[in-house]
Chains A and B, each alone.
Chain A
Amino acid sequence: MSNSSKDLDHLIELMAKLPGLGPRSARRAVLHMVKKRALLMTPLADVLAEVAVTVRECLNCGNIGTADTCDICQNPKRENGEICVIEEVSDLWAMERSHMFKGRYHVLGGTLSALDAIGPDELRIPRLLRRVRDENVTEVILALNATIDGQTTAHYIADQLGDVRVSTLAQGVPIGGELDYLDDGTITAALRARKTL
């Protein structure tokens, strides 16, 4: 790189490590911030510095927030009887975008993987089992990815949960999907989950 300052080069290098950015787009982002120093760069630097200190995982559900207990766990309007189990925080955000689920969440932090030697103890499965026992949970919704590892994890958790009602998300044709473009696995799942009109 041949920018005018080592600090700027370093900033571009760091920005280029962010997902979705490469060296070229990082340079554009840095130039944009330099041009909007007061409006963007300084507030961004302040917030980054603050969040870097305060961000942490929720001790209860594994979501991320700036307190020991996240906003969702603290929210008294959330229903207590249902826990939605997801793999990652990004899945929690996707669920929240739908505004459909009003219960609590539990972020596993991954899936069981024989290949990568990830067992139940590497995930937050023991903590989930404790929550189900302690929080009078009546239903656990396993919103795990429709992958081999995701479903292996789902079946494992279902076995551990015992008498609690366990449900999973439906699998099949996405909204706006055209059959011609679907893989045969999705069509198989959709046919198996067909419903009467």
Chain B
Amino acid sequence: MIEWRDEGVLLAVRKHGEAAVIVEVFTEHHGKHAGVVRGGAGRKQAPMLQPGGQFEVVWKARLEEHMGAFTVEPLRSRAAQVMADPLALAGLTSVVGLLSFALPEREVHGALYSASINLLDLICVTEAWPLAYLHWEMQLLEDLGFGLDLSCCAVSGATEDLAYVSPKSGRAVAAHHAGRWKTQLLPLVPCMIGQSVADNGEIAAGLRTTGHFLEKWLAPSLGDRALPSARKRLVERLFRAGRLDQRPSGEANHE
């Protein structure tokens, strides 16, 4: 019998028969892992098995390649803290939706795990989390092999005046080298490289850029599935909440 113990964030719950559920947990040392929780659909366990919650999990299986079974002990519930706030709820569902969508099974992503925990905690306690969310999407791309190279201009190698990102290479382009391609390039806003305090317009532009690479790079590598609709709902809600000044153009309809 194989057994390990870890801590993780619950990403998804699906019913399995009458009493059990299959859960997907993003763990610190074992990556995204699925397993059956017996009795998970029952009155006692179902309320605590909400996406975004943090659990201590024990996974057991006879063979490594089996799905195995989890026993879960709740460490921190986040659902109750965000349910009344539609924006925070949208943020949490977008984070867990993207993780569930993008992470490969059983592959460790320690840095992304820490960043995800920090972001989820931030969503629960403060309204100033959209910038952290933007940086988290950049780290998600980075961890999955689609990182943006924003250190210097792809054309000249300059490190100053960086204003655009090439939609094809994901590399930065300086403003004076953009030339006639300016309209086809994606915006590189200073907050993406930690050069300024973000305002609403900047975060909007940043989400346009990360959205492009999530959709055009990441999704096709996963069998061309559509991005989770939760991300689109989050972006829309951010605009409606008046957090962002402009709607990022080029956001595809993922519903």
| A-to-B contact residues, CB < 8 Å | 19-20, 112, 114-115, 117, 119-121, 146-148, 151-152, 155-156, 158-159, 171, 183-186, 188-189, 192
| Chain B residues, Cβ within 8 Å of A20 | 18
Residues of B within 8 A of A (CB-CB), count: 31
Further 7 A-B residue pairs, CB within 8 A, beyond A114-B228, A152-B233, A155-B89: A112-B229, A120-B255, A148-B51, A148-B83, A158-B86, A171-B83, A184-B77
Q: Is B47 in the interface zone, CB < 8 Å from A? A: yes
Q: Is B123 in the interface zone, CB < 8 Å from A? A: no
Contact of A185 among B47, B92, B255 (CB under 8 A): B47
Q: How far is the CB of A75 from chain B (nearest CB, A)?
A: 32
Q: How far is the CB of A85 from chain B (nearest CB, A)?
A: 16
* Residue from A146, A159, A184 with most neighbouring chain B CB atoms (10 Å): A184
Q: How far is the CB of A143 from chain B (nearest CB, A)?
A: 14
Q: Is B190 in the interface zone, CB < 8 Å from A? A: no
Q: How far is the CA of A184 from the CA of B48 in the complex (A)?
A: 9
Whether B89 lies near A117 (C-beta < 8 A) is no
Whether A186 lies near B255 (C-beta < 8 A) is no
Q: How far is the CB of A18 from chain B (nearest CB, A)?
A: 10
Contact of B77 among A114, A115, A156, A183 (CB under 8 A): A183
Query: Nearest CB to that of B80 among chain A residues?
Result: A185
Q: How far is the CA of A7 from the CA of B159 in the complex (A)?
A: 80
Query: Nearest CB to that of B240 among chain A residues?
Result: A159
- Indicate whether A119 sits within 8 Å of B255 (C-beta atoms), given known contacts A156-B233, A185-B48: yes
| Chain B residues, Cβ within 8 Å of A119 | 229, 255
Whether B47 lies near A186 (C-beta < 8 A) is yes
Q: Could you count the A-B residue pairs with CB atoms below 8 Å apart for me: how many are there?
A: 72
| Chain B residues, Cβ within 8 Å of A158 | 86
Q: How far is the CA of A119 from the CA of B230 in the complex (A)?
A: 10
Contact of A148 among B79, B86, B100 (CB under 8 A): B79
Contact of B83 among A19, A120, A151, A184 (CB under 8 A): A151
Q: How far is the CA of A74 from the CA of B77 in the complex (A)?
A: 43
Q: How far is the CB of B122 from chain A (nearest CB, A)?
A: 17
Whether A147 lies near B79 (C-beta < 8 A) is yes
| Chain A residues, Cβ within 8 Å of B83 | 146, 148, 151, 171, 189
Write out, one digit per residue, whether chain B residues 25-55 have a CB within 8 A of any chain A CB (1) or not (0).
0000000000000000000000110111100
Query: Nearest CB to that of A181 among chain B residues?
Result: B44
Q: How far is the CB of A140 from chain B (nearest CB, A)?
A: 16
- Indicate whether A192 sits within 8 Å of B84 (C-beta atoms), given known contacts A115-B12, A185-B79: yes
| Chain B residues, Cβ within 8 Å of A188 | 77, 80-81
| Chain A residues, Cβ within 8 Å of B228 | 114-115
Whether B74 lies near A183 (C-beta < 8 A) is yes
- Indicate whether A185 sits within 8 Å of B86 (C-beta atoms), given known contacts A20-B18, A120-B255: no
Q: Can you pick out 18 interface pairs between chain A and chain B where the beta carbons lie within 8 Å of each other?
A: A114-B93, A114-B228, A114-B230, A115-B14, A115-B97, A148-B52, A148-B93, A151-B89, A152-B90, A152-B93, A155-B89, A184-B74, A185-B48, A185-B50, A185-B79, A185-B81, A189-B80, A189-B83
- Indicate whether A147 sits within 8 Å of B97 (C-beta atoms), given known contacts A19-B18, A115-B12, A117-B229: no
Q: How far is the CB of A17 from chain B (nearest CB, A)?
A: 11
Whether A148 lies near B18 (C-beta < 8 A) is no
Q: How far is the CA of A121 from the CA of B81 in the complex (A)?
A: 28
Q: How far is the CA of A80 from the CA of B8 in the complex (A)?
A: 47
Give 3 closest A-B pairs by Cβ, nearest first. A185-B80, A185-B77, A114-B230
Q: How far is the CA of A188 from the CA of B84 in the complex (A)?
A: 11
Write out, one digit per residue, whether chain B residues 197-237 have a CB within 8 A of any chain A CB (1) or not (0).
00000000000000000000000000000101110010000
Query: Nearest CB to that of A121 among chain B residues?
Result: B255
